[in-house]
Structure formats: C-alpha cells, structure tokens
Structure 1
Amino acid sequence: MKSLLKVPHTLILLLSMMLLAFVATWLVPQGFFETVTLENGRQAVVPGTFALADAQIRLTPMDFFVAIPRALAAAQDVIFFVFIVGGVLAIARATGTIDALIGRLLERFGNKPHMLIFMVVFTFAMASGAIGTAGEYIPFVLILVGLCKAMKLDAMTAVGMVVVGYGIGYGVSAFNPFTVMIAQQVADVPLYSGIELRLAIFLPFVLIGFHHVWRYAKKVEAEPGSSLTVGIPCPLQGTEQADYPTLNMRHKSILFGLVATVVIAVWGISQQGWYLYELGAMFIIWGIFTAVVGQLNASDAAEKFIEGVKDLATTAMLVGVARGIALIMEDGQILHTLVYAMSYPLSYLGAEIASVGMFIMQTILNLFIPSGSGQAYVTMPLMAPVGDIIGVNRQIAVLAYQFGDGFSNMIVPTNAVLMGIIGMAGVPYHLWFRFCLPLMLKLMAAASLVLVLAVVFDYGAEHQPQVAIEAAQN
C-alpha cells in the first residue's frame, strides 16, 4: 500500500505534466490572438482578435518525445549556467573558502538563526524587487545549505530563505525592469507610477515570508525529526566539519572576487542587457581567479570543476524538462485559448472580485508562461481593456499581474530558476510544494486584500489613460 502512495520522482511529475499538456492539445479548442511587434522587438497580443485556428494541429506521440530534447535545448542557458556555477563552487570549496565562510558566519549567527533568515530573505527580496535578480542566487544555495546544516537546521530552510526572498521581491517589486516596468509600458501607464503603494507593502510581505521560514526553522531546531527532508541525502553529505578553518586573507580575496563578480553581473544586467551567458562567463573568470589565489594546480582545479558539474546533472535535467510543458502547449496552439478562456469571464464580475480574479488568473498562467516579461506581453494587453470595462484601473491590473507572476514563481515547477535552486539543495519538488503551499495561501490572501482595498480607494485613477475611460463608457 505504501508503495502505491509513494510520491514519484520530480522528473516523473514533470513528465506527467507534459503528458497532460499533450492530451490537452487534443481536447482544448485551438486558437490564437493576432500579435503586433512593439518598438523593443517583442510580440504583444491584440485584444479582441482571438479566433479559433482554421487548421487544427494534431501532435503525435513522436512530437511528445521530441519535445523533451527540444525543451532541454530551449532551457540551455539556465542548464549550462547551473553546470558552471556547480563546477566553480566545487573549486572554491576545494580551497577551503566555503568552509571558512561557514565557520565565520556560525560565529556571527550560530545562536541567532532568526537574524540570518531575516537578513537573507530581506536582502534577496530587495535585490529581486529592484533589479530583477533570480538566477544569480543559485551560487549561494550550497553555502546556505552548509550553513544551515552546521546550525542544526536543514536544506529546506536554506531553500526557503532563497526562494521566499526571490518570490516576494518579484511579487511586491517597486520597479523590477523585467516585470513591473514592462507591464506598465504595455498597460500605457507612466513608468514608476504607483510606486508609493508598492513600497508600503514591501516590508509587510517580507515579514510574512520571514515568519513562515522562521517558524519552520524553529520547529526543526527543536525537533530534528520534524524536518521535511528527513531521510533525503544532503548534497554536502560526507563533508561534515568538526572544526572550520580560519577565514584567512586568501579566503577573503576569493570571497571579494565573488562579490565583485556579482556586482559586475548586476551592472551588466541593468546597464548592458546581460543575462545568463554573460553571467556564466563572469563565474568562469571567478573560478580561474579562485584556483590561482587558492593555489590549486590546473589539473586539480579541472577535476574539482568536473565533479561539481556531475553533481548537478539531475538538476539540469529537471530544469530542461520543466520547459517542455509550455513548449507542448505552444506547439498545440492552446496557450492563447487558455488565456482567452480565463480572461473572458472577468468582464462579468464586479471590480473588487475581478481584481482578485485577475490575480488568480495570472497565478495560473505563470505555470504555462514562466517568463515574467513574456507573461506581461501576453496578458496585459487583455487585462488592461477588461479592467477599463469593469472599473479596475490599469495600475491595479499591473499590480494583479505582478502578484500573480511573482508569488507563483516560488511554487510552479515550470520555473527553471526554482528547479535549479531546489535541485542544487537536493530538495525534491513534492516536499518543497508541501513547504511552500501554506505560504502561498497566506500571500494570496494578503494580496487579495490589497487588491480589494486598491479598488475601493481608486488606486491609480490619476494615471488612468483618458482615452481608455472614454472607450469604456462608449
């Protein structure tokens, strides 16, 4: 009986979701919106143009299996970034730098884990909210796993700190260039407008996330058997330290190199349009610097790098397969049908309920459109005019979008960054889902309250395009 109830491997869960998407392409009416090319070269849908497809595409079983290697190819930037980070961190660990850093942090936070948790959640939320960082956190996962392990906590706590900070930062961002700014641009409201509300709700939502992680950590600290990852091999298994090395000047130089790498990467993302290819290059440079400063010979450094890459083969496979779900829905022409089907009923709801409905719709669609900017281009051209008709200001429609996109980043298995983080920490997806679902419900309740109050107090009315108001009245 137990074997029948056993939760399958995360890879099986993702393949099952791909299979469901494949079956859906046979059952769901196929259709699409017309699209236009914007000044920045991105495609956006045209409201009111949805039509059923003239020619129905019938995907074959062979198409399903071909989608798997295609998905791996489509997610290659994240996959190879994960490989590079894993290999470079293995080099850093061989120099003793990671262990020395953990030892130093233990001296500072060993008896104050709540301070560590709040600091990490707050810092990552700030960075994600300001400049849209996400994949940049992957290098810190194993460091936090080692630190939590030394503090008698578990890998779930480490993942919670990273992912909760990242998800809440995106969800309540004041000016994330990849989500909020794009959504405002598409909705035709001034960039950076409405920032006062988003700044006001930042800390309350961060505290909700912090409390969730801290309450779990306290439970594990008091009763290790209550850990959700009991019996799950830790990625650092067999590397227990009785005494941590002293953080010497060589280690500090390597850590300074890491900080400089992240700072340059953040600058490149915000100012030069960099992304994962450039980030990978920066970490390769840091890896070479680490090997030289750590006095590793070339062969030893190469061996450690390959070992680190091998350890993340499972993670890379999960990241790639996760992309296949959306890929099959795009091939089967049902993605726009789902968007249309979910947006149409909103026009018959009252403004307060419709604003929450927009949020729920965006949450669901993030499963199928895991790109924040991609989701903005697909959904905001529809949500903005729907809001005009039912009395939901476009600023509120943008807020509903960023809540739905940001918070669900923490739980949808199609999010490549999430799968990379939990894979690196050795946390199975079903256990992460069990940890994260209660937090998602709390965040959704708080977000729904904010949206209802935003409608009641007419948030964003001063920036509502006059042409949209006139069109809605006519």
Structure 2
Amino acid sequence: MPRALRVPHTLVLLFAMMVLALVGTWLLPQGSFQTTTNEHGREVVVAGTYARAEQRVWLPPTTLLTAVPRALAAAQEVIFFIFLVGGAIAVLRATGMIDALLGWILRHVGHSPGLLIGIGMTVFAAGSSAIGVAEEYIPFAALLIALCVAMRMDAVTAMGIMVCGYGIGYGVAALNPFTVLIAQDVAGLPPTSGMGFRLALFVPFVAIGIHHVYRYAQKVKADPSASLVADVPGAQHTAPAEYPPMTGARLAILLAVFVVLGLMVWGIAARGWYLIELGALFLGLAIFAGLAGGLGLDGSARRFAEGASELATTALLIGFARAIALILEDGQVLHTIVNGLAGPLQSAGAEVAAVGMLLIQTVLNFFIPSGSGQAYVTMPIMAPLGDLVGVSRQVAVLAFQFGDGFSNMIVPTNVVLMSIIGIAGIPYDRWFRFIFPLMVKLTLAAAVALVVAVSIGWQ
C-alpha cells in the first residue's frame, strides 16, 4: 500500500526555498532597477530602468547559515512585537474573558441557528481582523460542536462557523498585526493605511461565508443523512458544554481590550506610533488583565511567558522567510525576478496583474502557511512588481491578504485548520468537499474587489 504524501515542516520548505534562492543567485542574470522617492516619501522602482550588473556577485554556500541570524536581527521589531501580542492574548484567555464573551454570545443566540451562525462567524472574523486571533479559537471547538449538535446540525457546521469566520477575518483584516502591519511595513506603507476600504470589504465577504455555512446547515437540519460526516463515527458528538460567566472583572478586561484597540488606531494615525508603542500597549493590557482577572503577578507572568513561547515557531518562520529575500537582495537577483514577472503582467494590464498576484499568493500559502512568513517572502517581490505594472502597493498588500487568509481554510499545511478539524473528527477529504465551493466564491469576490481597488486608484 503506498505511503500517504507527507508535507515537510514549514521550516524545511523555507530552507529549501533559501537553497533555491542561493542557486538562483548563481544562475540568474544579476541586475537592478533605479529607484526614486514618490510623493508619499516611499522608495519605488522606476519602470524601464532595469540594467544588468557589470560585475557578478558570488555568494558562498555558507550564506545559507549566516542569512538566518541576519534576517532575525533585521526583523527583530516584528518578532518581539509578536511575542508581546502572543503573551497578552494568553493572559486574556487565562482570565476567562474570551471564553465568557463567546459563551455569552452563543448562549443568547442558541435558540436560532441563523443567529448562531451569523453572530458566531462575525465574532470570529472580527477577532482575526483586529488582532490576528487564530490558534486561540481552538479551545472553542468542543463548545461549538455541542451547540450545533443540540440544534440538529453537525460538526462540519460548527467548524464552518469557526474556520470560515477566522479565515475570512484574516483575508479582509483591518489591523491584523501578523499580516496587515507586517506586509505594509515590508511594502513601505504607513501602518494601518487604507483601512477604510478593507473595513468596507468586511461585511460582504463575511456575508458570503455566512450564506455558505447557513445553506449547508439548513440542508443537514432537514435531512441528517445529508451531513458530510454522517457515516464518520469520530465526527458524532453529544452533550453541550458549560459556559463560564461574564463577571464584572471579565467585563472590565473586555472594555480594556476595546480601549487598547482604540488607542492603537488613534496613536498610529495621530502620533505616528508603530511596533514599539503598539507592543507597549499589549504589554500594558496583559498586566492590567492579569491583575484584574485575579491571576496575580506570578500567574500573569507564567501565562504571558507561555503565550510568547507558543509563537517561537512563528518567529523562526519570519526569520527564515526574511532570509530568502536577503539572499536574493545580496545576490542582486531580486529585481531580475521582478523584471521577469513584470513583462507578462504589464501587457495584461493593472487589473489583471492584481488578480495574478492574488493567485500567486494563494498558491504560495500551501508552502508557507504562516501569514507573517509569507509576507516576508512575497512582499519584497510583489511591492516593486506593483510599481512596474501600475498596481499600488496597497493593492499588492490586499492581494497578499486575500491569498493568505482565504486559503488558510483549505491548505492541509495549515496547522490551525488541521487541529480544528482533527478535534471535530472531520476527515480532510470531507472538509475539502465542504470548503472548496466557498473558496471559489471568495476568490471570485476577491478578484472583483482587487479590480475595483485598482480602478479607483486606492493607495
């Protein structure tokens, strides 16, 4: 019997891409574009100025080893910020506030499947859009399954609420520090810029997801045998879970979260805050939440450290991904690749080029399921490519968001997805049958949104 295909660890895939990048510096023509500073103060490449390098640069094989610590150092602000966000979210969860909030919402809409699906998906999407929550949703899987089964729906519906909610939230994220802020930083854009257009996309895209999950749920309620997992013993569940109460302390912590999000938006727009100041906000939030939630100083510190440590792999992914761009830059072939991609995309027009970026990002997410890692791999190429083909860097970032966020719901290399459907007992092939039609709908809608963004000159 043939062995099942096993996808290598993401670090292995990224290191393989580093090797390919190094070999590319030996084989590809070396050269660069001239650059200039645009009206927004950002450095952009000048179309038609690509020229071959007069002298070839040879990078030794040891570059594969030295590039990683250099890349980690170059991305240190982002890495440390991610540690602080991860620590803060862990403290919030330890206080029971997140569990209480979701439990309260689900408890009050449990009488209506439509409300459960609509409000549940909106809450999951909002959390991912604002602060990049993903792994933190995993503990709610059992709760959602129990609620859906009690309402004569199945585990696929329950996981559809969660996975489709967080995947769409990532795709149309407004503030997500793990994708939007990193991609904008790499692209040389002001943090959170263009948020109005992304916020406008939130409702229609979430509505597409809600419609897809609701139609499936209605079909299962009408005929339980129509469930995609009706014949899967491991996907049959019973017994609703207990909800934690929303106490006064947890309500105060919830209000503090909204205050911090408001301060983020105000500070970035009015005071020029970025990762240092934003990291300080999350650190302050963690301290307040830990004390208000009764964790104490030691308990807060332990939870904070645990949350930060859970993102150690993410930090390494960022370093390895950034190393790819460093090798291409040092070997003077990054602009060669941009020039090669620009040719066919320029002839196709800016609107088609933007859609092409979306498709490229979608495919790459299979190999780099880390949103922050993918930003560091692709944005050094996509940002200057956009300059050449008439696609603004803001649109290039949106194409990255769409490609990364939506495909998170289907690629088997996404650890969060596989963990969630594993808890629910849903075989991947059954999940694929459920999610693939939604992927088609979202991709078409994303293509339309990108064409509109290019047409209105969104910056």
TM-score w.r.t. length of structure 2: 0.69
1:90/1:55 CA distance change after superposition, 3 Å: same
8 Å CA contact 1:355–1:400 kept in 2: the answer is no
Deviation, 1:62, is: 0.9
Structure 1 residues 332 and 177 mapped into 2: Cα distance closer, same or farther (>3 Å)?
Answer: closer
Query: SS in structure 1 opposite 2:405?
Result: coil
Partner of 1:92: 92
Alignment of 1:397-416 (within 5 A): 401=396, 404-410=399-405
Note if contact 2:163-2:417 (Cα within 8 Å) is conserved in structure 1.
no
Q: Does 1:383 align with 2:389?
A: yes
Aligned residue for 2:27?
Answer: 27
Q: Mind listing any 5+ residue stretches in structure 2 that lack a counterpart?
A: 146-154, 175-179, 365-372, 422-427
Q: 1:114 aligned to 2:109?
A: no
Question: Where in structure 2 are the equivalents of 1:120-139 lying within 5 Å?
Answer: 120=123, 123=126, 136-138=130-132
Q: Partner letter of residue 161 of structure 1?
A: G
Q: 3-state SS of the aligned residue for 1:151? A: helix
Map 1:333-344 → 2, pairs under 5 A: 333-344=332-343
Instruction: Measure, in 2, the Cα distance between the counterparts of 1:22 and 1:382.
Output: 25
Please give the residue correspondences for 1:243-258 in structure 2 after superposition, counting only pairs within 5 Å. 243-258=242-257
1:298 corresponds to? 297
How many angstroms apart in 1 are the aligned matches of 2:181 and 2:102?
33
Give the 3-state SS of the residue equivalent to 1:370 in structure 2. Answer: helix
Rounded to whole Å, the distance in 1 between the matches of 2:338 and 2:291 is 52
Moved more, 198-207 or 333-342: 198-207
Question: 2:325 and 2:292 mapped to 1: Cα distance?
Answer: 44
Change in 2 beyond 3 A, CA 1:201/1:296: closer
Q: Tell me the alpha carbon deviations over residues 13-47 of structure 1, each in whole angstroms, 9 at most, x when there is no partner.
A: 22222222222222222211001134554211112
1:314 aligns to what? Answer: 313
Counting only pairs closer than 5 Å after superposition, residues 3-82 of structure 1 correspond to structure 2 as 3=3, 5-38=5-38, 40-82=40-82
Q: Do the aligned residues in 2 keep the contact of 1:105 with 1:147 (CA within 8 Å)? A: no
Change (3 A) 1:30 1:209: farther
Aligned equivalents of 2:298, 2:437: Cα separation in 1: 47
Partner secondary structure for residue 134 of structure 2: helix
- Counterpart residue identity of residue 64, structure 2: F
Q: Which amino acid aligns with 1:379?
A: L
Return 146-155 or 322-331, whichever deviates more: 146-155
Q: Map 1:419-438; keep pairs closer than 5 Å.
A: none
Q: Secondary structure at the match of 2:36?
A: strand
Unaligned runs of 5+ residues in structure 1 are: 125-132, 171-175, 186-190, 232-239, 385-393, 464-474
Correspondence for 2:375 among 370, 390, 398: 370
Q: What is the CA distance between 1:107 and its match in structure 2?
A: 0.6
The structure-2 alpha-carbon separation of the partners of 1:411 and 1:327, relative to structure 1 and needing over 3 Å to count, comes to farther
Q: Does the 8 Å contact 1:85/1:283 carry over to 2? A: yes
CA positional deviation for 1:453? 9.6
For the pair 1:144 / 2:137, whether they are aligned, the reply is: yes
1:44 counterpart SS class: strand
Cα distance in 2 for partners of 1:177, 1:274 equals 12
2:352 to 326, 350, 356: 356
Q: 1:215 to 1:399 in 2, by over 3 A?
A: farther
Q: What is the CA-CA distance between 1:50 and the residue it aligns to?
A: 0.5
Aligned in 2, Cα 1:216/1:426: closer, same or farther, shift over 3 Å? Answer: farther
Matched, 1:165 2:169: yes
The residue identity in structure 1 corresponding to 2:142 is: K
2:62 partner SS: helix
1:246 is paired with a residue of what secondary structure? coil
Contact 1:155 1:425 in 2 (8 A): no
Partner of 2:424: none
Which moves more between the two structures, 371-380 or 253-262? Answer: 371-380
Aligned partners of 2:406, 2:23: CA distance in 1, in Å?
A: 23
Question: Matched residues in 2 for 1:74 and 1:219: separation?
Answer: 51
**SS of the residue aligned with 1:5?**
coil
What is the alpha-carbon distance in structure 1 between the residues aligned to residue 283 and residue 417 of structure 2? 18
Shift, 1:156, TM fit: 7.7
How far 1:210 moved relative to its partner? 4.5
CA distance in 2, matches of 1:35, 1:426: 45
